[in-house]
Amino acid sequence: MLQLVGMPCEVRQRCARLSHSWLKNEILNLDPGYVSFIYQSGGRSEGRTSFEQKIQFDGVFSARIDEASQLANEMIDGFSPEQVVDTGALKNLPAETQKAIKEVLRAEYLVQTDIESKVKQIQLAIADLKKALGIFTEAWFGKKPVEPEEIQAGFTRVQVRAQALHGLLADLPKGIVLP
C-alpha cells in the first residue's frame, strides 16, 4: 500500500488540525488540577471565563465535536485513491474507463486499508468524548456545586476519551492511499 503524502489531502490536513489544535493543545495539555483550581476559585478570572466559553453546551468544544463527526463522515472518500483518476493524465481518459478504474481502486482500497472499521472506531471515540464532555459540563455548570475532586476526575475522564480519539486520528493514513 502506497500513500501519496505529497499530493494535497484535505481530510488529512483537517485531521491533523483537529488532533493538534484542539485535542492536544486545548484538552490533553491542560492539567486537571488546574481545571479543578479554577472551578474551586469561583471568581471571574480570565482563565475560568475562557475555559467556560470552551466547555459550555454550545461552545468551542461542542463545535469541535461536530467538526470531528463531519470529518469522520468524509474520511473514507477523503483518503480514497479515486481522487487520483480526476487529476493528471487520467482525467483525459474516457468516462467509462475512469469509472472502471475508480471502481477497482476503491474496492482494493477498502480491503487493504480497513478504513471502514477505522472510521467506525473514530465515530465511537467521538461519541464517547461527547458523552464525557457533556457529563463534565453538566457538573461544572450544575445548579448545585460539586467537589473540586469530582471536577478533576471528570476532566480526567474527558482527557482519557480525547487521548483515545487522538491516537485513532494519528493512525490514519498520511495521505491518499494507493492499493
* pLDDT per residue as tens digits for the range 90-128: 888 999 999 999 999 999 999 999 999 999 999 999 999
Cβ atoms within 10 Å, residue 39: 22
Going by pLDDT thresholds of 50, 70 and 90, the confidence category of residue 5 is low
- Residue 73, pLDDT score: 97
Grid cell in block for residue 66 = 461536530
Please say if the pLDDT value at position 38 is more than 80.
Answer: yes
End-to-end CA distance of the chain: 5
Grid cell in block for residue 103 = 471502481
Long-range contacts (CB closer than 8 Å, 24 or more residues apart) made by 101-108: 105/80, 105/81, 105/178, 105/179, 106/80, 106/81, 106/82, 108/179
When divided into structural domains, the chain yields a total of: 1
